[in-house]
Amino acid sequence: MTDRPSETYRDVELPSEVTEQLRAAFGLPESPTTLGEWVTVTSRVADELGLTVEMDALCTAEASRHRATIEGETRHFHCVLDALVVPFLLQTDGPISIRSESPVSGTAVEIQAGRDTLTVEPQDAVMSFGAATDVDAPATDEFDLSLAHERFCPYANAFPTETEYEEWAVRTDAITTAFPIEIGYQLARHVPDSDLPTST
């Protein structure tokens, strides 16, 4: 279990190929080189556009591999990152149960996430982060929320092992990287504070 998580996510470096895809997907003015820079740059874009993060703004679905159970109600999300954001948008007495199934094997990663606590099973689970290559889409330097999440959300997944992530990465139509769920949790913790754009 992790208590009172740090901000080590800020220093996590992103491969140059991933940073360029994120810049293109979100129409950012520059390519972020770390997760901390991604939060800073996207926060600035969100502020300029007047975007805020609330439960109703998260990218939900009728059914998906990513779901969070909130006081007995289960909600489905298009990506594991949005599910990880939920504890930081709600005032709840205890942790929220998050279940995310690997797109490779269907193996579930089980997460108990509170505002200050995190438990992950299996402990070595990782999540992917990146964006579609989307070679047929027109290039743009302007932020398009629907296009951004079409390129981003399907590629934020959880995997029980890094080996399984690597198996998925070589065959997916995106450029991605992976990091421990703990890092994704830290990132999600700062999404509401930074007004990082999420899905509609």
When mean pLDDT is compared across 46-60, 145-159, 169-183, the lowest value belongs to: 46-60
What's the rounded mean pLDDT across residues 128-156? 70
28 belongs to a structural domain: yes
User: What does the pLDDT look like over 102-112, one tens digit per residue?
Assistant: 999 999 999 99
What pLDDT does 146 receive?
A: 63
Identify the CA nearest to 22 among candidates 46, 39, 44: 39
76 belongs to a structural domain: yes
What pLDDT does 22 receive?
A: 84
200 belongs to a structural domain: no
199 belongs to a structural domain: no
Q: ∠ CA(107), CA(112), CA(116), 5° rounding?
A: 145
At 14, which CATH number?
A: 3.15.10.60
Does the pLDDT at position 2 exceed 60?
Answer: no
| Residues of the domain holding 23 | 2-194
Q: Residue 90: how many CA atoms within 13 Å on its side-chain side?
A: 19
67 belongs to a structural domain: yes
User: What does the pLDDT look like over 25-80, one tens digit per residue?
Assistant: 777 778 889 999 988 887 776 666 555 554 454 555 667 899 998 888 888 888 89
150 belongs to a structural domain: yes
Q: Residue 119: phi, psi to the nearest 5? A: -130, 130
What's the rounded mean pLDDT across residues 134-153? 60
Neighbour count for residue 78 (Cβ, 10 Å)? 21
Does the pLDDT at position 118 exceed 50?
Answer: yes
Indicate the number of domains in the chain: 1
Query: CA–CA distance from 141 to each of 9, 39, 91, 148, 183 (Å)?
Result: 26, 18, 37, 12, 28
87 belongs to a structural domain: yes
